[in-house]
Structure 1
């Protein structure tokens, strides 16, 4: 991949893609990225921008239109409830064999989590969440067609609530949208949880004692390496009165990653210090902290991410997942989901 720029050195550090490092090196909290885009990392202005208007359907990865039609509100609500039900049921199930965690992270973590939570769904529904399928447009279309034709019968056990939405769809359009929502919801949840758990594994580093409080580790990981590192808003008149740099034709990029590392908001901002969250009853109310978005525009699965990541991290530590990277730093490429890349192997 492209040349990587060095980040802050530490015993187990990261190197960001040059475009991300360029952003981190900026002193301004409001800056022009290109002729049609403005970047923002100012805490007050970010909250004002998020509050200025509701999030558009096209700005949400899961609820953007599918099968040529908008996703109805009641369908979106059913998806959220079904996913929460499936995630909580998955946490209570025994995890798959730990050898499934071996390999390249975060991909190994994603595949492991999908197998844990959704692997019991009957064929061909279970193929909707297979990474090898989702990476191919052709295979995805073939699987979509198979699920549309054979969504499974009521007699099949082990089906997730999300798969039940596909089976119980009232018409072909609703079924196609349920298929799209299944794929998007499972991918968004599992990719995000695996990225968070993988980032936490890397930040805790080799040679450290097992953390006593994994929850504080995860909140500090969300501060230092938030998977949702940028929020994108399409331009419009709603933002022009908030700052003179923002024009009606400008799109706006909000950067929690930059805000979370700014010394105006955080002491020792580049240091990994989970203890800073000791005794914090509600981390999301911490000023200048936006791991899941602001009130009214928070991630639809935020209530699932930390519990699932803690469960995944617990299984990894219980089975002595060992980082096998030959280097003491790891790459963070320019992707929509911020995640450290490293090799790991189960040793138990």
Structure 2
């Protein structure tokens, strides 16, 4: 590890959910979380767990089964290509009004991104990405039925929407609807969480400007990674990897802990964007896996950092700041690790 410049003083505190705080207090790298789950933060063992067998369909998020059938590889790769096209097209357009970034983060950032990326879709497809719809099972079902019958305009809109219109069968259309909803939500929620964590850690430091945010995001992914846990359903494939793992044990792998291991990191609890200066391929850094391991990495990882960087640029350009009075934030126990705060727009 190269010599680092002194870190900027941080006067903000993060209060984790008790379950996460308990994990952070552990020193062992293999431990029992509960009666049926073994926790792992050792990079070599985590890599071995991922390599022991292919990921199950039920262990996926975006690409878990839909409409009573598995998502085929062709559909999955098509969805990722569509996401990339939509992100590339959207970031070339003017962002939504900056006043929409004021309020409770990361929720307002998620809504902002969904509006930026998917507002061009005609009704009822555009409703698939609305937070008020996605948070209600009954509304989601109604919108899904409406889209299945009438998938909007015949042309234009996002590439994800075009996949729905191009479906050749009822099942394919239902799967395309599910993938639109899952993919748009996963991308926007993840980017919003990453940007929120970065804003908190940047601590109002004025030296961060457009063009210098990429190292900030990689350091944020180290210290407050939104994807803080990977889960594998137990089985015989894992029992030979470590004596603590039994045949009925599920495996919970924790990048959040691995990224704070002093074996790999100098001053592991200190936010230092300088760590990443001159690092050409951060994902090859030992002890650092913000998007998963080889063979099981997030398929959309190439979109997350550029989109989060563009969102942070919008925030800097328009004076989005955290309220001066807020010195503490709470991180709840959720699948995405994200700080919560109220943002102001002073531009």
Q: Secondary structure at the match of 1:33?
A: strand
Offset of 1:153 from its aligned partner?
3.5
Q: Secondary structure at the match of 2:76?
A: helix
Offset of 1:43 from its aligned partner?
1.3
- Partner of residue 304, structure 2: 305
Check whether the contact 1:325–1:342 (CA below 8 A) recurs between aligned residues: no
- Partner of residue 197, structure 1: 195
Which consecutive unaligned segments of at least 5 residues does structure 1 have?
1-8
- Partner of residue 20, structure 1: 20
- Partner of residue 239, structure 2: 240
Offset of 1:325 from its aligned partner?
6.4
- Partner of residue 158, structure 2: 160
Name the CA distance, whole Å, in 2 between partners of 1:98 and 1:324.
Answer: 16
Q: Secondary structure at the match of 1:270?
A: coil
Name the CA distance, whole Å, in 2 between partners of 1:323 and 1:152.
Answer: 39
Check whether the contact 2:122–2:153 (CA below 8 A) recurs between aligned residues: no
Q: Secondary structure at the match of 1:310?
A: helix
- Partner of residue 129, structure 1: 129
Instruction: Return the match for 1:186 from 173, 181, 184.
Output: 184
- TM-score by length of structure 1 reads 0.95
- Partner of residue 171, structure 2: 173
Offset of 1:209 from its aligned partner?
3.2
Q: Aligned pair in 2 of structure 1 residues 325, 37: CA closer, same or farther (>3 Å)? A: farther
Mapping 1:185-334, distance limit 5 Å:
185-211=183-209, 213-324=212-323, 326-334=325-333
Deviations 1:7-32 (A, max 9, x none): xx941221111100000000110000
Mapping 1:109-128, distance limit 5 Å:
109-128=109-128
- Partner of residue 57, structure 1: 57
Q: Secondary structure at the match of 1:322?
A: strand
Check whether the contact 1:325–1:343 (CA below 8 A) recurs between aligned residues: no
Q: Secondary structure at the match of 2:329?
A: strand
Mapping 1:140-159, distance limit 5 Å:
140-154=140-154, 156-157=155-156, 159=157
Deviations 1:157-202 (A, max 9, x none): 3x10100000111011111110000000000000000100110001
Name the CA distance, whole Å, in 1 between partners of 2:324 and 2:24.
Answer: 25
Check whether the contact 1:322–1:347 (CA below 8 A) recurs between aligned residues: yes
- TM-score by length of structure 2 reads 0.95
Deviations 1:234-275 (A, max 9, x none): 101111111000111100000000010121221100000000
Corresponding pairs, count: 338
Check whether the contact 2:10–2:203 (CA below 8 A) recurs between aligned residues: no
- Partner of residue 3, structure 2: none
Offset of 1:152 from its aligned partner?
2.1
- Partner of residue 105, structure 1: 105
Q: Which structure 1 residue ranges, 4+ long, deviate > 6 Å from structure 2? A: none
